[in-house]
Amino acid sequence: MTDERDTVVTALARSLERSHRRLGELETLVRQLAADVTSLSRSRPAPGDALTGAGDDGREPAGGGWLLAEDREAALTGMADLVEWVEAVYLRYPDAELPSCWLWHPAVVEELWWLRGAHAAAYEDSAGSWQRIGDWHDRFRPGVVKRLRAAVGGCELVLHAPGGEQAGAPSLAPLADAAANVADAWTTRRLLPEPSDPQLAAAEQHDRAQHRKANR
């Protein structure tokens, strides 16, 4: 009888030990999750933050990027920081190229703007990780290099002068005057309006211009 009681007590002791161990693991997990939530809440930019204004923890929020920049002072500061980063990091890689007119291409500035932000986030002390650093090296940077080479690899500043291929007003969204009708038809009937004859003519003119541009 004593041996049976000892066996039961031993089993209960082991069960209690396992419960204590699991409780300790659970407490550790909860603390880790709490730390992760705190880190995410601190790193998330608050609505209305400036284009490149740093938050309370010194990190820069994504803001609206370069294409939506409106704050002049923030844009000046951000551009100066971007130029410094391009020279210190981006152009250090042998496959990185920038035409002389890169600042005259808003899309190029935007690409480099977010690439710089991704670089800062990957190497940031509290939120960065080796995986994010690897993503930046393996995917983000090579992707930007490839897109910039395809988009502006043969461009130069003289083409932006009056009479050059890059001179003139920025491109407009084709058939923008149809946006209201499309939005109304889609939200009320989940159908798209039939294109009118003037819209078809405008679309044909636009498509021909795009084709000529692509085959230059």
Q: Domain extents for the chain? A: 1-43, 72-160, 176-214
Assessment of whether the complete model's pTM goes beyond 0.85: no
Q: What is the pLDDT of residue 53?
A: 43
The radius of gyration of the chain from alpha carbons, rounded to an integer in Å, stands at 28
How confident is the model at residue 48, as a pLDDT? 37
CA distance 167 to 63: 29
Counting Cα atoms < 13 Å in the Cβ hemisphere of 206 gives 12
Q: How far is the C-alpha of 82 from the C-alpha of 93, rounded, in Å?
A: 16
Q: Write down the pLDDT at residue 127.
A: 77
pLDDT tens, N- to C-terminus, the chain (216 residues) = 566 666 766 766 677 777 667 667 667 666 665 665 555 544 444 333 434 444 444 445 556 788 888 888 989 999 999 999 999 999 999 999 898 889 989 999 999 999 999 999 999 877 788 999 999 999 999 999 999 999 888 888 888 888 777 766 666 778 888 888 888 988 898 888 899 999 889 888 888 877 776 676
| Cα 11 from Cα 17, distance rounded (Å) | 10
Sign of CA dihedral 48, 51, 53, 57: positive
DSSP H helical ranges for the chain: 2-43, 72-88, 106-123, 130-135, 141-152, 179-189, 197-214
Q: Is the dihedral of CA 109, 117, 130, 44 positive or negative?
A: negative
- Answer yes or no: are the C-beta atoms of 134 and 119 closer than 8 Å: no
Residue 26 is predicted with a pLDDT of 62
Q: How far apart are CA 121 and CA 123, in angstroms?
A: 6
d(CA 194, CA 32): 56
User: How would DSSP label each residue in 33-48?
Assistant: HHHHHHHHHHHSPPTT
For residue 58, what pLDDT is reported?
A: 40
pLDDT of 191 reads: 86
